[in-house]
Amino acid sequence: MKLAILNGHVTDPANQIDQTGHIYIDSGRILDSNVVAEGFRADHEIDASGLLVCPGLIDLSARLREPGQEHKATIASETRAAASQGITTLCCPPDTQPIIDTPAVARLIRQRAEQAGFARVIPLAALTQSLENKQLSEMAALKAAGCPAVCNTTPITNTAILRNAMLYAATQGMTVILPPVDHWLSHEGSAHEGAVATRLGLPGIPEAAETAAVARDLALAEQTGVRIHFARLSTAQAVRMVARARFDGIRVSADVAITSLFFTEMDVDGYDSTYHTSPPLRTQSDRDGLREGVAQGAISAICSDHQPHEADAKLAPFSATETGMSSLELLLPLTLRLVEEGVLSLSDAIARLSSGPAEVLGLDSGTLSPGQPADLCLIDPQAVWTFSHDQMLSRGQNAPCHDWEFKGRTCLTLLAGKPVYNTLDTRLTGQT
């Protein structure tokens, strides 16, 4: 199908484009608008006047719960929710059941995503077999099965094993994604170690649980030369450490969960288990430091850290509830809120959701470059709407921001040129 998207405000940070323009698509790929033949005749045209045209968004951390926990969510349900927010690529952490430590599981996840047809799913391979932090996974085979990075969802306490894993990953050209967490300082905690946790009687997780792990992992990365990525930083001090390491030439990047840019330890008050997260929500000073890191580029990506749960998972006493929020459908709205609040420019905001994540994993996506798959989204920046649990497409209803009013909403998502979410039928016309 040939498609023309006309007169939209094209924002493509990877190519430093931020202007009104046209996008032409043929056979699922983007054409060079400067060399489109005079004979090009679109099967359909979209009048994108007043709309933002952006690369499809990339989420570096979204638990889809399949395989193994389909009572919480499925690949089909969560990728459908992703498409409604302009997200065309999702990275699935390895703690599925079975764990992504064999090529067969990686291929299964990719096949299920292709069958659903709403978004691409990239499986992230386990750094160690069964995530037990004892024996290294077969990284070469996992890379061949479509895993561009390896990670552990739990901290590795044995430094020798982590060093060997980094050396192996370096030989394969794979990014090592690490949770910046010291096990011994964090495993018994459930909230940030501070005034709120003390007043509520909750076991605390100190700032040092993150900074100690970051310091160790940076030292190992400098020695081994591997590319590392810290997943979901939560403290301002860790941001400063990563910024300094990048300045010194260490191959390191980091992301932050979108919810950590808005919520703090104060939201835990009242034992609201919606805000029981890992890493925990930190202080307002930390939140401001994270925002500064995103604005200055020390943090190159914003992720959803999507963790859908059934209702019962959040009904126990605070420390006994399962961690995480259903935040996939908040990734774009909250990021646009950062633009509205003056924290980010629109171009930088889109970069943290597209070209930034793509660079972390070495992907060709996250751009509107000619020849690339036509993964893109159209956003109505003037649309005002209210986020409501009963309108969520995700199976997980454990989301914050209920009844929040947002400005800016996805109205079309294309995956390889195919509409996977569309509220623009009145603007989609056929050529005569």
Outline which parts of the chain fall under CATH 2.30.40.10: 2-53+374-385+405-430
Question: Is there a contact between 30 and 372 (Cβ–Cβ < 8 Å)?
Answer: yes
What pLDDT is stored for residue 41 in this prediction? 86
Instruction: Report the CATH number of the 2-53+374-385+405-430 domain.
Output: 2.30.40.10
CA torsion 272-278-282-288 (nearest 10°) is: -110
Residue 305 among the catalytic residues: yes
Active-site residue (options: 12, 305, 348, 380): 305
Q: Tens-of-pLDDT digits for all 432 residues of the chain? A: 899 999 999 999 999 999 999 999 999 999 987 667 667 888 899 999 999 999 999 999 999 999 999 999 999 999 999 999 999 999 999 999 999 999 999 999 999 999 999 999 999 999 999 999 999 999 999 999 999 999 999 899 999 999 999 999 999 999 999 999 999 999 999 999 999 999 999 999 999 999 999 999 999 999 999 999 999 999 999 999 999 999 999 999 999 999 999 999 999 999 999 999 999 999 999 999 999 999 999 999 999 999 999 999 999 999 999 999 999 999 999 999 999 999 999 999 999 999 999 999 999 899 999 999 999 999 999 999 999 999 999 999 999 999 999 999 999 999 999 999 999 865 555 543
The DSSP annotation for 202-262 comes to: PPEE-THHHHHHHHHHHHHHHHH---EEE-S---HHHHHHHHHHHHTT--EEEEEEGGGGT
pTM equals 0.96
Homologous superfamily of domain range 55-361: Metal-dependent hydrolases (3.20.20.140)
Question: Start-end ranges of CATH 3.20.20.140 in the chain?
Answer: 55-361
Helices (H), 269-325: 284-296
